[in-house]
Amino acid sequence: MTRFLINFSYDGSNYNGYQKQKGLNTVQGKIEEILKFINNSKITKLHSSGRTDAKVHALNQYAHVDIDVNITEYKLKSALNSLLPDDIYIKSAKIVDNNFHARYMVLSKEYMYKINMGEYNPIERNYVYQYCKKLNIDKMRDSIKYFIGKHDFTTFSSIDDISKNCIRTIYDANISENGDYLIITFKGSGFLKYMVRKMVGTLIMVSEGKLSKDDIVKMINSKDKSLVKITAKPQGLYLSNVEYKKI
């Protein structure tokens, strides 16, 4: 048995999220289906760095898998890409130690959220949030810094997220402009379900004058999920990077 770490990207538009779910089209389910074929029909489970929601994309997702057949890194990458649909692409396959775990050995993750402040663009509707109005970027930049640090992010988790430990550390958070496009990035130790989308939705409300930067501190301290009124649409969200200790 050989353990491989695969790095891959995907367009989440046609998937019911990353995590395998019975009867639904998922990224994990699609890759595992191909891996089973490569591995002589033996069940192969993909252990990823984490899951992404329906319609969310990934530029750099990572997962490890154990393969019983004798196959090189190059051949595994080539075989997967020749059999997978065009909206999933294996960027690399690397042999790692059998003690390596793609989820439990993550140092940090980075998410990126794209917003269009210009005219509606139907071609980008699955890849950029079509807000189509100017945002108060100064207010958003002044407010995003309150998310940085170690906090209990219960307020910014999904209603159905039953995580017992909602403490996460945001190492960095930035907002950049590119013409009519706004790009918001969060780098942290990990993220709860809907957490990035709820933080983005809150920043939009700050821009609209419906919340102040001080409200963000109050929201974090309250641990009250009902206080977040906007969860930004999934189409603008990307898992952009995952960092590990030197492999």
Residues with a known catalytic role? 53
Give the whole-angstrom CA distance, residue 4 versus residue 73: 8
Instruction: Please tell me the number of Cα atoms within 13 Å of 12 on its side-chain side.
Output: 25
The string of DSSP letters for 162-224 reads --S--EEEEEEEEEEEETTEEEEEEEES---TTHHHHHHHHHHHHHTTSS-HHHHHHHHHHT-
Q: Please, what is the angle between helix 137-144 and helix 195-207, to 10°?
A: 130
Q: What SS3 state is found at 116?
A: strand
Give the whole-angstrom CA distance, residue 238 versus residue 240: 6
